[in-house]
Amino acid sequence: MTNDHYDIVIIGGGPVGMALAIALHNTDASVLLLEARGIPEEVGDPRPLALSYGSQLILRRLGVWDRLTQKTPITSIHISNKSSLGQTLITPEDANVPVLGYVVSYFDLYRSMYQELAKKPTDNIDYIAGATVTQLETSDNLGTVYFDYQGREVKIDARMLVLADGGKLTQFIPDIVYKTQDYQQCAVIANIRAEKKQVGVAYERFTSDGPIALLPNKEDFALVWTAPSSVAKEICEFDDVTFLKCLHHHFGDRLGQFVATGERSAFPLMLKYASSITAQRMVLIGNAAQTLHPVAGQGFNLGLRDAYELSRAVSSMHNTINKIGTSAMLTKYSEKRKIDSYGGMIFTDMLIKLFSDEHALLKSACGLGLSALDCVSPLKRFVSRRMIFGAGG
């Protein structure tokens, strides 16, 4: 770090903040990326991420795609509802794309982004790991961040602050409040081996306890098992044999018995979204703007589009860098993101509520809905393209 003033300070160098920093590399803006954790080589996170084909295109443009060491293509998605009829299969042909998406690991993505950022000539991007932002302030013309770095407090000014911290620091922004819905659920994740080998098929099965997803992970599956928080704790504590039996009972026999499991971890789930994604000299992106239930694998995909669209808004100002962070720029960006962001939130929240309702009539209606999706190609195309590319379809 050589300056005490930047055009843009990004707070939070998770995958979304990091994607923004990489995307800003080709602009005239000076950028500082602050990340509280150590550099990604030192940080593990076991969660699997299903990336849509749309995200693949963005990551390719950012130079990150070819760096990913593990990526399993998703060639079809099988969706069903436990204890009711009705199912559907989505294929690349339905959405008119070469592949529906890929399953990668959060950690591999994070590390690949870091490698790409580190490789770029650093004339306009500074990156500091181990820097924890403690306070934010804004005025008409400036945003200011205070952060702890190597035992001292540092103060930096910027035309625009970007909050990509997952939403912890919004307490310092009086204009923004979060609306939250605690689903009282956790996602239990683990790598699973099934008796029947299948490569490329993703399974999403709705149950009254919450959805269960088995995502292709080479020849195995990455499990995302949603359950009420107290049940999730028990599931994590089961011995392996009991756990695999329980999973088989819950998921059904489509893949035969489950024969091996990796380590299990649990993530609490909630819907959380900001009343506004912009404030004076400030933008919220990724989980800081909206944290979704992982049911449809939309969270990171949406956050990546936030980052990409924000970088485009900045590059469109190449001769007018002093306009970065002005209310005109922020309003335009916020308007552009509205439909995509609300679409993702409403879609995932609706899936959770509809499919976990025990009412017999509603259960049948959901089954019918899946069958209708299966039979009506234009509907299937509409839904699948929105899942892949966001509201733009």
Cβ neighbours around 227 below 10 Å, total? 22
Nearest to 182 by CA among 291, 275, 286: 291
356 scored as a contact of ligand FAD (CB under 6 A): no
For 390, the token pair is 């966001």
130 scored as a contact of ligand FAD (CB under 6 A): no
Helix (H, G, I), strand (E, B) or coil at 242: helix
17 scored as a contact of ligand FAD (CB under 6 A): yes
Question: How many residues sit close enough to ligand FAD to count as binding (CB under 6 A)?
Answer: 35
- Spell out a b/e string for 19-55, using b for 16 or more CB atoms within 10 Å of the CB, else e: bbbbbbbebebbbbbbbbbeebeebebbebbbbbbbb
164 scored as a contact of ligand FAD (CB under 6 A): yes
Work out the angle between the directed axes of helices 327-356 and 377-389 (0-180°, nearest 10): 130
36 scored as a contact of ligand FAD (CB under 6 A): yes
Binds ligand FAD by CB under 6 A, chosen from 58, 59, 125, 133: 133
Per-residue interface string for the shown chain with ligand FAD, residues 85-114, x marking contact by CB under 6 A: ---------------------x--------
387 scored as a contact of ligand FAD (CB under 6 A): no
Residue closer to ligand FAD by CB (options 109, 330) is: 109
Q: Select the span of 91-99, 230-238, 294-302, 369-377 touching ligand FAD (CB under 6 A).
A: 294-302
Residue closer to ligand FAD by CB (options 12, 216) is: 12
11 scored as a contact of ligand FAD (CB under 6 A): yes
Residue closer to ligand FAD by CB (options 127, 258) is: 127
Quote the least distance from Cβ 363 to ligand FAD, whole Å.
26
Site for ligand FAD in 299-338 (CB under 6 A): 299-301, 303
Cβ partners under 8 Å of residue 208, min gap 6: 82, 83, 356, 357, 358
390 scored as a contact of ligand FAD (CB under 6 A): no
Nearest to 30 by CA among 229, 324, 243: 324
Tokens 């529906």 correspond to 100
Binds ligand FAD by CB under 6 A, chosen from 129, 173, 224, 324: 224
Whole-angstrom CA distances from 227 to 22, 128, 214, 230, 355 are 36, 37, 14, 8, 13
187 scored as a contact of ligand FAD (CB under 6 A): yes
